Structure 1
Amino acid sequence: MATSLSSHSTPLLLTISILIFSLAFPATGDDHVFGKPIDRKSLGLKEEKLSHLRFYWHDILSGRNPSAIKVVPPPRNSSTGFGFVTMIDNPLTLGPELSSKMVGKAQGFYASAAQQELGLLMVMNFAFVEGKYNGSTFTVAGRNPVFNKVREMSVIGGSGLFRLARGYVQVRTHWYDPETGDATGQYDAYVMHY
């Protein structure tokens, strides 16, 4: 025997629905506000400062232990390599020689994102291991037209000493080997952080 809802049960269903809604979304004041302003000092953030860091980025595609691995090859008919993707775990050093003191790693990827020129989309976390920046990171994302003398990409965030980081990096090619594809770039980072 099938049962149907009578008009007498409608107030009961409405009451139950209101009760369930009020339990799911309690009206308890400011404790459950989606967003609200806070004092930056409550997070330990002091005066914002601008830091300039210079280091060298080593992209090693050759040898027994490359730091850059092509994970998606380009199509055969592309003169610019449009479409390739390379994952990186590149050393960052204090000087231009790979034997120079390592200050961190660039971890992320670059991809050929231009059909008419060699223009890369780069997304990297710079993870530092030296001095007061040990354990801190900042993230760079942007366009790198590699044959331009100076290229600029954005700093879009960070962690540790680089929390809430913003700024930019300028890149200059220090050395490039067309046979292997290995390269060294000079990075000048200008980073606003707390």
Structure 2
Amino acid sequence: MVVLDETIILDNNLHSTPVGRAQGFYLYDKKDIFTAWFGFSFVFNSSKHKGSINFAGADPLMNKTRDISVIGGTGNFFMARGIATLMTDAFEGEVYFRLRTEINLYECW
């Protein structure tokens, strides 16, 4: 199990202004190929957005793109539902990886 608490930025420049934090955990769940199960939140506290978006689901890491469920949210994202498409931007074995995320939220009311 790996616990994460990382900065969210809007591009690949490490000196970009942070817009929030990615907080949660993931479990490697297979021995023969890299797959993980994620449970995490994007916690925003910027002038544009306040609140969190919560995600959960399987992540087959070797696929170029993969979808994970948006299962809720708080603040500006109260009761959020949708899909987040994850793409691995960079990785160094099991030690470091950077994800690009495209989030599509749906109105549920």
Q: Same fold (TM over 0.5)?
A: yes
Paired residues of 1:122 and 1:140 also in contact (CA < 8 A): yes
Aligned ranges for residues 75-86 of structure 1 at < 5 Å? 85-86=1-2
Paired residues of 1:95 and 1:101 also in contact (CA < 8 A): no
Q: Does the alignment pair 1:186 with 2:100? A: yes
Q: What does the per-residue CA deviation read over 1:14-47, in whole Å, with 9 as the maximum and x for residues that have no partner?
A: xxxxxxxxxxxxxxxxxxxxxxxxxxxxxxxxxx
Alpha-carbon shift at residue 192 of structure 1 (Å):
2.5
Paired residues of 1:111 and 1:120 also in contact (CA < 8 A): yes
Instruction: Compute the TM-score of the two structures, normalised by the length of structure 1.
Output: 0.52
Aligned ranges for residues 136-175 of structure 1 at < 5 Å? 136-175=51-90
Q: What amino acid maps onto 1:157 in structure 2? A: G
Structure 2 unpaired stretches of 5+: none
What is the aligned partner in structure 1 of residue 5 from structure 2?
89
Distance in 1, Cα, partners of 2:13 & 2:91: 13
Distance in 1, Cα, partners of 2:90 & 2:32: 23
Aligned ranges for residues 31-180 of structure 1 at < 5 Å? 85-134=1-50, 136-178=51-93
Distance in 2, Cα, partners of 1:95 & 1:120: 24
Distance in 2, Cα, partners of 1:130 & 1:108: 20
Distance in 2, Cα, partners of 1:97 & 1:129: 20
How many matched pairs?
Answer: 108
Q: What does the per-residue CA deviation read over 1:99-131, in whole Å, with 9 as the maximum and x for residues that have no partner?
A: 222111111100011233211000001101223
Identity %: 29
Structure in which a larger fraction of residues adopt helix: 1
Instruction: Compute the TM-score of the two structures, normalised by the length of structure 2.
Output: 0.90
Q: What amino acid maps onto 1:172 in structure 2? A: M
Q: Which runs of 4+ in 1 moved over 3 A?
A: none
What is the aligned partner in structure 2 of residue 51 from structure 1?
none
SS at match of 2:76: helix
Paired residues of 1:140 and 1:153 also in contact (CA < 8 A): yes
Distance in 2, Cα, partners of 1:94 & 1:130: 12
Q: What does the per-residue CA deviation read over 1:138-161, in whole Å, with 9 as the maximum and x for residues that have no partner?
A: 100011111110011000000011
SS at match of 1:143: strand
